Structure 1
Amino acid sequence: MTKATQPAPEEDSNPLFNQSLEKGLAVLCAFSAQRRSMTLADLAEAAGISKSSAQRMVFTLESLGFVRKHPKTRRYQLTPRVMRIGFNYLAANPIIDLANPYLSELTNATTETTCLTEADGLEMVYVARFVSAQFVPVHMPIGSRIPMYCTASGRAWLSALPDEEALALIRESERVAHTRFTITDEDALMRDLREARERGYAINREELFLGDMTLGAPVLGSHGRPVAAVHIVAPTSRWTLAEAEQRLGPSLLACARSLNNSVRALD
């Protein structure tokens, strides 16, 4: 199994744990922008399973309409039916419905792109987005995943956790220097989280993509735990950090406070 699909020891030994289902999901998750189509051998390697297991999984998924084989290349690829699973999550998530009006209002007020992300392991996942009519340096569609440690939404989420929990997640992260601005040092990251906690929002200054600066604030549930993060994209072609904090920061905090109140009413 790959690291992403490796079951915990208690899962592996639990008679209720269905390893066939795990392998099928591993096959679906093996596809990516870097692996848009694969041979059976490619799939087995990417999913971390044997070729015979991959053959059974692919046959089942193909029969169900989740993957298909290209008639010429004989390589497998995902079908649009896979999107049913992700769409069902978006449709059933009440936080997204609550957040959409606030994100729309924030985009109108700031004229910049605003997004809602949720945590999944060591990453933040885009679940809602309102795009500005102005230039945005990086396209991040719904479902995109970004690391926690070097993004505003991720650090906003981490800043809402107790220090020991945030530190554990930082230590577990593979802290890659994506750009020359990426902060990877543990102590520096913890200082950044404390500063974010004090001001109410975190900042990413071109740490994941050059030209991309974002301000992110946590969305808190009734128990004070983070349930999501909202962020504003402030491209460095239009904003200095000081200007973004002065003009976008207050609007972001107001949006986060309104979302906090709405989300708490759900609990």
Structure 2
Amino acid sequence: MTRETKQKDSGASASKADKSGEKATRPDPLFNQSLEKGLEVLRAFSAVHRTLTLPELAGLTGMSKSSAQRTVHTLETLGYIGKHPQTRRFRLTPKVMEIGYNYLCADALIQAASPYLSQLANASGETANLTEPVGLEMVYVAQLMTSKYIPVLTPVGMRIPMYCTSSGRAYLSTLPDEQVRTMLEDSARVARTPATLTDVAAIFETVVACRRVGYACNNEELFLGDMGLGAAIVNSQGQAVGAVHVSPPASRWSMAEAQKKLAPMVIECAWAISRSIAH
């Protein structure tokens, strides 16, 4: 084989490799990057970042300043973002709640769970919560509050990690072992308090324990002074669709007392909701 032939073969192989690589990394032709950028800007705002400047938004979203400017201008024109009258910094407007409200209105699980959450709150004297899974977190979608003091505000829409919460562990208990371990390994597992379990094996033991007793616990692992007892809600196919939990404060309950008195109520509530959505 001549040198020229080798060069041609080499070039052809490289060309094929380039085309193969290009095909493997080719973006989804239906994916709308402009919409993605808009959602990233909306999600950049939080309790930590209540107001933001354009450069701050660009930095948090990874966009160029010009791209961020176009996206913010569009959202501002549509009414989802406004400027603070004094600081002129950008902030979300109440119109953003339309998106979440539409989901809450259309969620059949919330409608089915509401009367049972009310019963749980009345019987336990503690706030009853309904959460649904989103990735590695659980999001609050309904809440029946009592008049008693609660140390931590957990409003509808708030997201909490699965690995250190009763509702998250209850949900995980319905999944296969390998999937549970993978999800725990993929979680950040930050020590939220001195009591937070961060070791995968230790957390997995709590998930296995939930399968035996029917409920999961969280003993001040997410917030100091705040405990949790949760049970999974399953559909007619036996698949978990959410979880119900109460968060008894350590100032009123010991974990042993909560497990004895509140756990049966939580299990009964989750079972009743599961039964109602199975029909």
Which category describes the TM-score, using the shorter chain as reference length? Answer: over 0.9
Aligned equivalent of 1:5 = none
Give the one of 89, 104, 114 matched to 1:90.
104
1:220 aligns with 2:241: no
Count of paired positions: 257
Aligned equivalent of 2:183 = 169
Aligned equivalent of 2:12 = none
Deviation at 1:70, TM superposition (A): 2.5
Aligned equivalent of 2:47 = 33
TM-score, reference length from structure 2: 0.90
Superposition pairs for residues 133-152 of structure 1, below 5 Å? Answer: 133-152=147-166
Deviation at 1:51, TM superposition (A): 1.0
Deviation at 1:11, TM superposition (A): 9.7
Aligned equivalent of 2:57 = 43
Cα deviation code 1:105-162 (max 9, x no counterpart): 0111111111000111111100000112111110111101111100000101111111
Call closer, same or farther: CA 1:26–1:10 in 2, change over 3 Å: farther
Query: AA paired with 1:214?
Result: G
Deviation at 1:167, TM superposition (A): 0.9
CA RMSD of aligned residues (A): 1.4
Q: Which of 41-50 and 169-178 deviates more? A: 41-50
TM-score, reference length from structure 1: 0.94
How far apart in 2 are the matches of 1:130 and 1:42?
Answer: 37
Query: AA paired with 1:163?
Result: D
How far apart in 2 are the matches of 1:130 and 1:205?
Answer: 21
Cα deviation code 1:218-264 (max 9, x no counterpart): 00012211100000111111111111111111111111111111122
In structure 2, list runs of 5 or more residues that go unmatched: 1-22
Describe the SS at the equivalent of 1:116.
strand
Aligned equivalent of 2:267 = 253
In structure 1, list runs of 5 or more residues that go unmatched: 1-8
How far apart in 2 are the matches of 1:212 and 1:201?
Answer: 17
Deviation at 1:12, TM superposition (A): 7.1
How far apart in 2 are the matches of 1:11 and 1:91?
Answer: 39
Describe the SS at the equivalent of 2:143.
strand
Call closer, same or farther: CA 1:10–1:86 in 2, change over 3 Å: farther
How far apart in 2 are the matches of 1:108 and 1:10?
Answer: 56
Give the one of 73, 89, 94 matched to 1:59.
73
Aligned equivalent of 1:240 = 254
